[in-house]
Amino acid sequence: MTEEAVLFGRTKSLVGIITDPPQAKRNTELAAFILLNAGIVHRVGPHRLFVKMARHLASMGFVVLRFDHSGIGDSNVREDKLPFEASAISETQEAMNCLSRMRDSKRFVLFGLCSGTLTSFRTACGDLRVVGAVLLNALLKSPETISASTVSYVIDRKIARSYVHSKVFHVQSWLKFLTGEADYRKILRVLYSRISSVFFARKQIGGADNQVVADLRGLFDRGVSLFFIFSEGTGVLEYFRLKLEDAIEKLNPGKWNVEIIRETDHTFTLLRHQEELLQVVGRWASQTLLNCHRQRA
């Protein structure tokens, strides 16, 4: 594969790296991937994850662009006063324009982690060139729009689930329980406070996020494929289960998938979790994009 540094955008102020597949695998009919900043981490991604992801996807035949939004990494700050949520969408579209011009790409898959998932989602909703998105630990709405009661409830769900997994299914915990070494009062107090809050507060939190579900329905109706990947035990996974999972299951079942990476953290710090993530994304890309391309051919 080869890599090329590029300047693009209206004022040529955005900096990116295009990773090209080997010459024998190049095919302009394949969708190209665009990797978006995770928060304020520049284009290499947390723990250089995006570098590895770009090269892995390129080895499969995909053109990949990873770039810095304005004011992050090597890209200059914007001279206008456009809010970040709007500028991020505009710059993602400029990234698509760049690949259209330089690599003749016509269809795109957006790849985001954390805040990058919101940019991916909103860009996909408004740009018909987007045919897929890989969403790592996706919230799909601005965190500040989520009520404090919902945040508290999600945290309680996460702690309760974590307690069940770490204690109930742990042999040493049962040995302590059966031999009288466990703190029974603490166990009962934690279970009661956490589990009761989970069940009794749900009615106050409400059902699905109707606007997000409506936007997802629009994407599925367009034929856009979404791949949700979550780190086990994170708050965003609990929010997805609470607000979106049941509603999405009633929509097009063939256009979305969910994968949970066990025992990892929010940014996939450990090398073994990064490798697992590469393989998971690679399988999805092969099944969803490469196979569909072969069928059309």
Name 68's Cβ contacts closer than 8 Å, sequence gap at least 6. 14, 15, 16, 37, 42, 43, 74, 75
Pair of tokens at residue 164 = 């069940």
pLDDT in tens, the chain (297 residues): 899 999 999 999 999 999 999 988 888 899 999 999 999 999 999 999 999 999 999 999 999 999 999 999 999 999 888 999 999 999 999 999 999 999 999 999 999 999 999 999 999 999 999 999 999 999 898 888 887 877 777 776 666 666 555 555 454 554 554 555 555 565 555 555 555 555 554 555 666 788 999 999 999 999 999 999 999 878 888 889 888 888 888 887 778 999 999 989 999 999 999 999 999 999 999 999 987 656 565
Dist CA 128 CA 219 (whole Å): 9
Is the domain of 198 the same as that of 213?
A: no
Is the domain of 70 the same as that of 161?
A: no
Reported pTM: 0.85
Cβ neighbours around 10 below 10 Å, total = 12
Is the domain of 58 the same as that of 133?
A: yes
Is the domain of 183 the same as that of 271?
A: no
Is the domain of 185 the same as that of 283?
A: no
Q: Tell me, yes or no, whether 218 lies in a domain.
A: yes
SS3 label, residue 67? strand
Instruction: Indicate which CATH number applies to the domain containing 131.
Output: 3.40.50.1820
Q: Tell me, yes or no, whether 146 lies in a domain.
A: no
